[in-house]
Structure 1
Amino acid sequence: MTPLTPVTTSPLSTEHLAALHEVFAADPVLRRTQNAVARVSVDDLAIDHQLATALTTTVSNRIDDWKVTNQKKSGRCWLFAALNLLRAGAKETMGVKEFEFSQNYAMYFDKLERANYFLASILETSQLPEDDRLVAHLLRDVMGDGGQWDMAVNIFKKYGAVPKSAMPETESSSNTGRMNAVLCLLLRRGAGELRALNAAGDTAGVESASERILTEVHRILTVHLGTPPTSFEWEYTDDAKVFHREGVLTPQEFLAKYTTISLDEYVCLVDDPRSEHPKGGTLTVEHLGNVLGAAPVLYLNVDIALAKRLAKEAILDGEPVWFGCDVGPQMVRKEGIWDAGLYDYAGLYGAELAMDKEARVRFGESAMTHAMLLTGVDVLEGQTRRWRVENSWGDENGDQGFYTMADNWFDEYVFEVVVNKNRLSPELRQALAAEPLALPAWDPMGALA
């Protein structure tokens, strides 16, 4: 078969540019739009005011009666959402309305484990050149704050959890940029050192350098985040004014005593819209994880309609739902609302901008960027209309930090929900035991919420 000749565009000529300017200048609507955008935000012009005001915050089924948390200047949303899921049962067990787990404690061990995971990946790929796509990916995404549900489970199962009072926030846990930059520098330098030692066949040198690098990571984390407790004395007063002196507990004992769900019984359902990844099968992503030797990240690929139905059923049963989404598109942050048709940028610019969910994933327009908790759903005559969302951006926006999501936004921008396996059909439960399709490390499904 004769190869196709690539089609290319022509250089932009002065005549072409002049013609474009002439067309623009001749359009009075475009000139008025230009004048407006020079003075106000384009979002203020593109927003559908009627949609924005019609999306009420009330829902027919709401389970939250607590205050939101605040991840501040960090990307710990996945840990906040996971701990917020656990705290629903902890509050009930303790008989208190307000309670927070220590997000700092969970992040400390995630970063320590992730550094070890990174070093192992560097050694595993040490025979590949530095500009290999996998090596370049590993070196680019060294030490961010994001993660996935299974990564949170790995931390909880190994290290337990503690109340916020046992390991409170620090300046660096709430503002992770500088700490992360230092860790990235240390680990990238270490990657070069380990690759050189491994190429020289210096096994002892590799082991010694790996141990030294991990010790330095531990030192930096402890300086920035504090020393995590191995045990602590736990006392509290419940909402009935009864004082409880629980004695000294380890983090593992605290997690087991005060949480009500079995982490092993929950599964992450993902909507991978690409046709080559069949629904009803499992997926994983190479080199995506944090704890060496722990279970890999596992997704069960399902239709978004099924994910919505199971999420609704969980909320109707009083269970909040962890979910991951592409948070930015079609959102008004101040009002705390999402609707798939909220902004008409295409109409404003006179440009074709529509892409379906599959195309957005394929061409880099959409991926998982944020994790939150579903705490309410509005159902009318069996039809889901909107969702109530516990965010972790503080209480200044939305309904004191709770956001409202139109059902059409769920279809377009939600990618994953976590539910109990007992909500799955027998066929889907059986599918969980099958060997997952392994996607490359840089696949969009490996994006960290």
Structure 2
Amino acid sequence: MNVLAKDISANQLKKFQEELDAKANHNVAERAVTKNGILATSADYRSEINMDPVFSIDLDTGKVANQKQSGRCWMFAALNTMRHDMKDKFGVADDFELSQNYTFFWDKLEKSNYFYENVIKTAALPTSDRKVAWLMQTPQQDGGQWDMFMAIIDKYGVVPKSVMPETFNSSASREFNSTLNLKLRKDAVELRELVNANASEDELEARKQKMLSEVYRMCAYSFGEPPAKFDFEYRDKDKNYHLDRDLTPQEFFKKYVGWNTEDYVSVINAPTEDKPYNHMYTIEMLGNVIGGREVRHLNVDMDTFRKIAIKQLEAGESVWFGSDVGQSSDRKKGIMDTELYHNDELFDVDFSMSKAERLDYCESLMTHAMVLTGVNLVDGKPDKWKVENSWGDQVGTDGFFVMSDSWMEEYCYQVVVNKKFLPKELQEILKEEPKVLAPWDPMGSLAK
């Protein structure tokens, strides 16, 4: 069907103005929005009242961390859930943290190798091919997903922040990312040329290893050298001194975190037609550690999504989750609520879209990972949730946010839970071979 493109005519412009003039008090709205902006003008003060930070289940998790000018929320959120356990088991201080810089170092190196392997795999395709263009658009970035973090943990373990503290580049990663992506794109040119010149597998591997050695050097200069062994000393909540000598990062993880990482699984709520509930999904070309843990999602309805998160909280364990944090939220007040702003009433325009429509039409996707540390249950049902963010203690209530249950319904896409909290029938589905989604699928978005 061919439809003739039509411009905006003078008569139409006249009609638009007449319709505007016919709106009651439109001059009042115009003055308010031009002076104060859309959000301030459409804000509803009642949301702040309803989002009072009091919860029937409220875990004591210590002080919040600060990812600063970096996209490491997924790491901070995961390490925070681990340090919550350490606080309960070993009585470490409220401000104790595991090193986000340590896992950042290894993620950058592993993502570089993952990129090189995908470049080699797609070298026969033209640069105009969508997969190649997708690879080159962002060779690597700070963001990630739960399974990608577990792949790093499984291979490299963890260390206390005192052993590998923050650097300028871990706290403000923009310069490093632009420099590393320049290198990766330049290396992609060479790798594609080698493949198309029929270079041997040994030649390709030798050149890739040289490239990775250069990436390792860049990481060491920018983040410091990761420790192979270290001593762990701390005082517990009763002020008793502890010293544990000569630990490897893997030994530290096993002794002080002690998780079986395979027990923790990603559960999503993606109500789009292409992803029926109660099935497994993965995303092509998404990952970091070659040969490591695959990104896998179990898609469930929202009622199940809530229930399993509540079960884990009731058991005293915090919950990693991913959401679209920029939607209907106030960073300073620490509120995420669908009733926070009423721009539909302000403009007299219907902005409503279903959750599935927002995913299908690129209006929303997972952008940020945080931790559920509490929930308020009224007659057994949640009306608001306590959220530990990683933006420091100057936002929200000492860094903690309040999320309405309606906001969770619309803008939360992923929770990570111990599979023991899943119903038996869903535990069986975890064994299913996942459907492979396209690299640009919204469920492949990276939390930053």
Q: Deviation digits for residues 292-317 of structure 1, max 9, x if unmatched?
A: 00121000010111111110111111
After superposition, residues 99-178 of structure 1 pair within 5 angstroms as 99-178=96-175
Residue in 2 aligned with 1:16? 12
1:194 equivalenced with 2:191 (yes/no)? yes
1:291 equivalenced with 2:281 (yes/no)? no
Instruction: State the Cα distance separating 1:440 from its structure 2 match.
Output: 0.6
| Contact map agreement 1:86 1:260 (CA 8 A) in 2 | no
Amino acid at match of 2:228: T
Amino acid at match of 1:262: N
Determine helix, strand or coil for the equivalent of 1:324: strand
| Contact map agreement 1:65 1:97 (CA 8 A) in 2 | no
Instruction: State the Cα distance separating 1:63 from its structure 2 match.
Output: 0.6
Which of 399, 418, 424 is equivalent to 2:422?
Answer: 424
Which of 87, 90, 94 is equivalent to 2:83?
Answer: 87
| Contact map agreement 1:271 1:304 (CA 8 A) in 2 | yes
Residue in 1 aligned with 2:375? 377
Instruction: State the Cα distance separating 1:65 from its structure 2 match.
Output: 4.0
1:59 equivalenced with 2:94 (yes/no)? no
Residue in 1 aligned with 2:41? 45
Q: 1:378 to 1:8 in 2, by over 3 A?
A: farther
After superposition, residues 12-411 of structure 1 pair within 5 angstroms as 12-98=8-94, 99-203=96-200, 204-411=202-409
Question: Whole-Å Cα distance in 1 between the matches of residues 14 and 25 of structure 2?
Answer: 19
Q: Structure 2 unaligned segments of length 5 or more: list them.
A: none
Instruction: State the Cα distance separating 1:25 from its structure 2 match.
Output: 4.0
Instruction: State the Cα distance separating 1:205 from its structure 2 match.
Output: 4.1
Q: Deviation digits for residues 211-247 of structure 1, max 9, x if unmatched?
A: 2221111111111111110111111122212111211
Instruction: State the Cα distance separating 1:21 from its structure 2 match.
Output: 3.2
Q: Deviation digits for residues 118-164 of structure 1, max 9, x if unmatched?
A: 00001001111101111111111211111000001000110000000
Determine helix, strand or coil for the equivalent of 1:165: coil
Q: 1:6 to 1:349 in 2, by over 3 A?
A: farther
How many residues of Structure 1 are paired with residues of Structure 2 in the alignment? 445
Question: Whole-Å Cα distance in 2 between the matches of residues 8 and 448 of structure 1?
Answer: 40
Residue in 2 aligned with 1:434? 432
Instruction: State the Cα distance separating 1:188 from its structure 2 match.
Output: 0.6
Question: Whole-Å Cα distance in 2 between the matches of residues 154 and 8 of structure 1?
Answer: 53
Determine helix, strand or coil for the equivalent of 1:246: strand
Of stretches 254-263 and 127-136 in structure 1, the one that deviates more from structure 2 is: 254-263
Instruction: State the Cα distance separating 1:8 from its structure 2 match.
Output: 5.1
Question: Whole-Å Cα distance in 1 between the matches of residues 445 and 288 of structure 2?
Answer: 14
| Contact map agreement 2:151 2:289 (CA 8 A) in 1 | yes
Q: Percent identity?
A: 42
| Contact map agreement 2:150 2:293 (CA 8 A) in 1 | no
Q: Deviation digits for residues 374-401 of structure 1, max 9, x if unmatched?
A: 0001012212111000000001111100
Of stretches 47-56 and 19-28 in structure 1, the one that deviates more from structure 2 is: 19-28
Determine helix, strand or coil for the equivalent of 1:194: helix
Determine helix, strand or coil for the equivalent of 1:39: helix
Q: 1:75 to 1:249 in 2, by over 3 A?
A: same
Instruction: State the Cα distance separating 1:9 from its structure 2 match.
Output: 4.5
Amino acid at match of 1:23: E
Q: Deviation digits for residues 192-215 of structure 1, max 9, x if unmatched?
A: 110011101122542332122211
Determine helix, strand or coil for the equivalent of 2:332: coil
Amino acid at match of 2:342: D
Q: Deviation digits for residues 67-122 of structure 1, max 9, x if unmatched?
A: 00000011100000000011111122322232100000011101100000000001
Instruction: State the Cα distance separating 1:28 from its structure 2 match.
Output: 4.8
Normalised TM-score (structure 1): 0.96
Instruction: State the Cα distance separating 1:19 from its structure 2 match.
Output: 3.2
| Contact map agreement 1:89 1:260 (CA 8 A) in 2 | no
Question: Whole-Å Cα distance in 2 between the matches of residues 28 and 45 of structure 1?
Answer: 17
Give the RMSD, CA atoms, in angstroms.
1.3
| Contact map agreement 2:282 2:296 (CA 8 A) in 1 | yes
Instruction: State the Cα distance separating 1:53 from its structure 2 match.
Output: 2.2
| Contact map agreement 2:387 2:401 (CA 8 A) in 1 | yes
Instruction: State the Cα distance separating 1:343 from its structure 2 match.
Output: 1.1
| Contact map agreement 1:24 1:31 (CA 8 A) in 2 | no
Q: Deviation digits for residues 239-284 of structure 1, max 9, x if unmatched?
A: 2121112111110011111114321111100111112311110000
Determine helix, strand or coil for the equivalent of 2:277: coil
Question: Whole-Å Cα distance in 1 between the matches of residues 266 and 167 of structure 2?
Answer: 31
Q: 1:8 to 1:282 in 2, by over 3 A?
A: farther
Q: 1:372 to 1:351 in 2, by over 3 A?
A: same
Q: Deviation digits for residues 165-201 of structure 1, max 9, x if unmatched?
A: 1100001101000100001100011111100111011
1:448 equivalenced with 2:437 (yes/no)? no
Question: Whole-Å Cα distance in 2 between the matches of residues 71 and 30 of structure 1?
Answer: 43
Instruction: State the Cα distance separating 1:26 from its structure 2 match.
Output: 4.5
